[in-house]
Amino acid sequence: MILDEGLSGEEVLAVRGLESPDGRGAPGPAAGYAGLVRCGRPLAYPVPAEDLPPLLRRRAERSADRYAGVIFAFDLDVLPTGERYTGARLDVTLADPGARVVQLAADGDEFGLVQGEAASAAALRTVSATRSRPGLLRRLGRRAGTPRAWTTGLQSGSFGWVYDDPRGTVLLPRTYGMHALVEMPSGATDLAGVLTVQAETADRTLMTPAVEFREPFTEAAVPSGAAVRMCLAADVVGYSRRRNAETEELQRDLVRVLSEARRAAGIAESAVRPQPQGDGQFTVLPVGIDEAAVIPTMIATLRAALLDRDRGRAAAERMRLRVALHRGLVKETANGWVGAAAIAVHRLLDSPPLRAAIKENPEAPYVLGLPDVLYQDVIAHAVEPPLASDFRPMTVELPEKDFVEHGWLTVGAAR
């Protein structure tokens, strides 16, 4: 079994001796042994209402309560030869009488952090909040061959996680990480309370004294500094020919289908700030996304949403899109994003090859254009649609804009 790395110096809240409740220790081959437990400093970060599960989101919208994601961690000491841990638990009591835990997760399987699952909005917040302490994030991964925790105290201010293997058939880990979602009164800016750790061997129960903590919220906001990001631009075909009632519906549906596509790809709405453009939308996606996973999921969901929206409609009533992707160094400023990629993605979107392709394929729900760098990095290695064979090369040359880009385009299948 692979153990996670231990807590580093700045992450340790307290180091305590493990003792039996009576302070003497039970008899046995290692009687008198006093091991150590390293209690990790909790990491607390604000979670906005839009990132909450649906039921909690509706409750948050009706109240002024705040919500915080919290990661707890602890390490157990190495036991003498011949001994093994058969149980371990962490108990937490929050200091604020108005605070309570509303969600408890034992590992990444419950949190959208495991490979192959779409990450939840809360998971993306956690990824952002743990950038300064990445070891905490690794602790949330499900570890094969270890007992899964059961939780206590949901909907109260005293809660915990219990790892138990009374038969001694599974090796308990020595490093632990757990996640909680806490509801707090409005105005709260930190999380305070006490925690205790209890560990059991075959013949002893070992417990720490209570450890107090008070941790300010670590912001998990979308980074606004210059960084390499992927940009997405979309535009409704034939928008100017529609009547006012139609254009209002088109704008509403455009926002909806693009939001569905991003969420399906694991991108929380709180992680982006789409710029509305009437008949179009421009969005800069978060730093560090897995483009090989995001692009196919996002495009497949967009296609399905468009086809579902237009099912049964006459051709003149359908919503068809030109879509473009680009990647590069961009930065958010006082009035939008600056950077070559933010400009180039619109050049691709409005290019003659994309306009010709959507006109020549009247049944297609969309056409997609992207630069050669994205094609070579992502599409050329794709195993899910859109595949390399679905694209054809194009050159976008706009002398009046002093712009030349070699890229690729694909036409979305109508069926």
Q: Are 298 and 261 in contact (CB under 8 A)?
A: yes
Q: List CB contacts of 286: < 8 A, sequence separation 6 or more.
A: 124, 222, 229, 267, 271, 272
- Both tokens of 133, joined, read 């302490």
The four Cα atoms 346, 348, 352, 358 give a dihedral, to 10 degrees, of -100
Encode the chain (415 residues) as per-residue pLDDT tens digits.
233 467 877 788 888 887 655 544 443 334 445 578 889 999 888 888 777 777 888 888 888 888 988 999 999 988 888 788 888 999 999 999 999 999 888 665 454 443 333 345 556 667 667 766 777 777 776 666 677 788 999 999 999 999 887 666 666 788 888 889 999 998 888 899 999 999 888 888 888 889 999 998 876 554 456 778 899 999 999 988 888 888 889 999 999 999 999 999 988 887 888 988 888 999 999 887 889 999 999 999 999 999 999 998 999 899 999 999 999 888 887 778 888 899 999 999 999 999 999 999 999 999 999 999 999 999 999 998 999 999 999 999 988 888 899 999 999 998 7
242 and 158, same structural domain? no
pTM equals 0.53
Structural domain of residue 54, as residue ranges? 9-216
The span from the CA of 394 to the CA of 291, in Å, is 21
Strand partners, 46: 68
Give yes or no: residues 196 and 62 share one domain. yes
DSSP structural state of residue 259: H
CATH number, domain containing residue 247: 3.30.70.1230
Q: Which contiguous run of DSSP H or E holds residue 72?
A: strand 66-76
Query: Do the domain assignments include residue 4?
Result: no
In a domain? residue 2: no
Quick one: tokens of 372? 């050669």
Q: Helix or strand or coil: residue 415? A: coil
Residue 134 burial (CB count, 10 A): 11
Question: Would residue 3 count as lying in a domain?
Answer: no
End-to-end CA distance of the chain, in Å?
Answer: 47
CA angle 53, 290, 56 (to 5 degrees): 5
* 190 and 325 housed in the same domain: no
Decide: 68 and 99 in contact? Cβ < 8 Å: no
Domain co-membership, 121 together with 270: no
